A and B are shown apart, each in its own frame.
Chain A
Amino acid sequence: MQKLTISGQEFNSRLFLGTGKFSSNQLMEQALIASGSDMVTTALRRVDLQNTEDDILKHINPNRFRLLPNTSGVRTAKEAVFAAELAREALQTNWLKLEIHPDPKYLLADTVETLKACEQLAKKGFIVLPYMQADPILAKQLEEVGAAAVMPLGSPIGSNKGLITREFIKIIIEQANVPVIVDAGIGAPSHAAEAMEMGADAVLVNTAIAVSNDPVMMAEAFKLAVKAGRMAFEAKLVAQLNMAEASSPLTSFLDL
């Protein structure tokens, strides 16, 4: 399999994991390892002064995983730049998952603010991976202002509905000069496999693993699905036909 490269950095796995919603940091750590992923997202929060020792980073081996902090919680480009700079300071990385979704009901990305923030952050030296609507025009605009990859949604965050945007993601993939990472809404390994078969460069999965009955087993299921989908893409899927085409020779061996 070809390796994924983003901004000159090579990745062994095409599955990125979110760290949200796990019932414990220990379970999260086991699932991260089982997934084979080498990039994981984190959010930012205010330090709890009553519990200053609660530290997710103790459970993410820095030699094994690259951290991708997100800007979840911000509503404007200005707030996103501030959050990004805090993230860079806290985690000592200039990699960033830019996400600006002011509407708490559907968590859809604010296109105008995302484009504005992406341009500013790229100029400040961040490696920006923006979460975005599955809008092919926007994907090109984000690429032009310096996005290192684009992250169109399959369906709303945490909805588990799969690739309801599939036709638009296909256009984004066809036109992109940067990696396309399908983010959000991937609720089953089959959704991940479908994205990879379509030619997505990677997928980001969180809820479907974290809240399953067995996150560690589900993480491995996603690992296998992503690998299978990518292998199928590289081997090139054969065309769909409207009529049957025999797989067995139609010789008339029963004719006497």
Chain B
Amino acid sequence: MKVYVNDECIDTADASNISLLLKQLNTTPKGIAVAIGANIIPSNLWDDYQLKEDDQVLLIRATQGG
């Protein structure tokens, strides 16, 4: 199925969850925040949160800034 990660279309397994998606994207979970639409999903729920077709996934991390 297709989901959108930071507006980029990604093909993922039908039964994928957030943890599996991060693994697929080679993204280390540390220092990452995840929102699906406007809902922030705490990291302790990433294994259980089943992605749905067309989910808008926002992946955020820290960067340089003042």
B18 smallest CB distance to A (angstroms): 12
1-23 of chain A: CB within 8 A of chain B: 18-22
Given contacts A46-B6, A49-B8, A53-B28, contact A86 B33 (CB under 8 A): yes
What is the interface size of chain B, counting residues whose CB is below 8 A from a CB of the partner?
Answer: 27
Task: Name A71's closest neighbour in chain B (CB-CB).
Answer: B65
Interface pair B64/A44, CB less than 8 Å apart: no
23-63 of chain B: CB within 8 A of chain A: 25-28, 30-35, 38, 40, 42-43, 58-63
Q: Which of B30, B33, B35 has the most CB of A within 10 A?
A: B33
Interface pair B25/A52, CB less than 8 Å apart: yes
Task: Name A67's closest neighbour in chain B (CB-CB).
Answer: B62
Interface pair B35/A42, CB less than 8 Å apart: no
Please give 14 more A-B residue pairs, beta carbons under 8 A apart, in addition to A28-B64, A86-B60, A207-B66. A18-B65, A22-B64, A42-B62, A43-B62, A45-B63, A46-B60, A49-B5, A52-B27, A53-B28, A55-B62, A56-B63, A57-B31, A90-B61, A91-B62
Task: Name A158's closest neighbour in chain B (CB-CB).
Answer: B66
Task: Name A28's closest neighbour in chain B (CB-CB).
Answer: B64
132-168 of chain A: CB within 8 A of chain B: 157-158
